[in-house]
Amino acid sequence: MLSNDTRVLCPLVTPFEDGAVDHDALADVVERLADRGVDGFVPCGTTGEFASLTQDERTAVVETTVDAAPDGAPVVAGAAGTAVETVRQRISDVAAAGADAALTVSPYYVTPSEPSSNQAFFERVVDDSPIPIYLYNIPSVVDDEIAPETVEALAERESVVGLKDTSGDLTHVTDVLDRVPDDFEVLQGFDGQLVPGLYMGMDAGVNATSHVVPEAVTSAVEAVRADDHGRARDLQRHVVDPLFRCGSAYGFSGATKVMLAHEGVIDDPEVRPPLELPDPDEREEIQSTVDRVADRATE
């Protein structure tokens, strides 16, 4: 579904103001990222605090993203859930809101005992989907991976076009790559392995760090494609990795919003419970990291 020129999609934060979704701020974030080279957008994902949004809010967030994104920029909207019919309805809702594709995870809370259980869930979810589907492998929060053999089986279905992998497990990724067709898109969602994943054959990135250093993240992808190994390595190690470590340590939603507020992109880094913002000392560390890598990104 993505063009060959796609480098990076941004898994968008959902800005809040006094507890409500700040749609003006969200549109500003999307427009800024598009102006700075981000190719596509992923609203209502993990960084977007989808689990803290009502269904009406999710739909409205997707609509705002679609309206703010440039023509031709893909919008892959989160449609996660634990009940088959709920996920099917969410896929229909994001399709009606204008999304180009949907992103859906394994059922969480109840961990399937066998890979075949996940496969059966996904098969029912994607049946007759009005838009293409990307599987979302993020075992750190759903407590289960999408097994490579499950991805292989689902890749045979016309509606399933790709996988966002946020496992941080390159062995798992290479197993998937060995099993799926060449046109099945495997996207790196674990920013700390963006460049290594691309060298192993992944197609593009879905990276929260692109909120802050979009040019550096897209340049890292371009450097890999141009076989500029030194440039790719330096951007990964000295720009992407420090920001990724902040997100890993303090939570991607809160840390990313602190970064954006520090840069003046959003007014308030507000998050919704159960998430909490980093404490003042942690915020200072995050902000100093942003300043340091921003200078390095322009070298």
pTM of the entire predicted model: 0.96
Q: How many domains does the chain have?
A: 1
Please report the pLDDT score of residue 147 as a whole number.
95
Examine residue 157 and state whether it is found in any structural domain, yes or no.
yes
State the amino acid at position 276 in one-letter form.
E
Report yes or no on 287 lying in a domain.
no
199 given a catalytic annotation: no
H or E element that contains 118: helix 115-126
Residue 175: inside a domain:
yes
CA distances from 43 to 51, 161, 179, 289 (A): 12, 18, 29, 25
**What is the structure's pLDDT at 111?**
67
- Residue 278 counted as domain residue: no
User: What CATH number did the domain enclosing 75 receive?
Assistant: 3.20.20.70
29 vs 211: CA distance, rounded Å:
8
State the number of CA atoms in the 13 A half-sphere of 116 facing the CB: 0
pLDDT digit string (tens) for the chain, length 299 residues: 899 899 999 999 999 999 999 999 999 999 999 999 999 999 999 999 999 999 999 999 999 999 999 999 999 999 999 999 999 999 999 999 999 999 999 988 876 667 788 899 999 999 899 999 999 999 998 888 999 999 999 999 999 999 999 999 999 999 999 999 999 999 999 999 999 999 999 999 999 999 999 999 999 999 999 999 999 999 999 999 999 999 999 999 999 999 999 999 999 999 999 999 999 999 999 999 999 998 777 76
Per residue in 185-220, pLDDT (tens digit) is 999 999 999 999 999 999 999 999 999 999 999 999
Asked if the structure places residue 269 within a domain, the reply is no
Residue position matching structure tokens 């934060």 = 13
Q: How many CA atoms lie within 13 A of 119 on its CB side?
A: 14
Report whether 207 contacts 196 (CB < 8 A): no
Q: Is 137 left (phi over 0), alpha (psi -120 to 50) or beta?
A: beta
* Given 108, 109, 136, 257, the catalytic residue: 136
Which residues are CB-contacts of 192 (< 8 A; sequence separation ≥ 6)?
168, 240, 241, 244, 245, 248
Answer yes or no: 136 catalytic: yes
Residues sharing a CB contact under 8 Å with residue 26, sequence separation 6 or more, in sequence order: 12, 14, 15, 61, 64, 65, 68
Domain assignment of residue 191, yes or no: yes
Give the domain extent around 105.
Answer: 8-226
Residue 299's pLDDT is 67
Find the DSSP H helices in 127-268. 139-142, 148-154, 170-179, 194-199, 214-225, 229-235, 241-250, 252-262
134, 164, 250, 257: which is the annotated catalytic residue?
A: 164
Distance CA 155, CA 83 (A): 21
What is the spatial distance between Cα 97 and Cα 235, in angstroms, rounded to a whole number?
Answer: 36
Is residue 296 domain-resident? no
Residue 282 lies in a domain: no
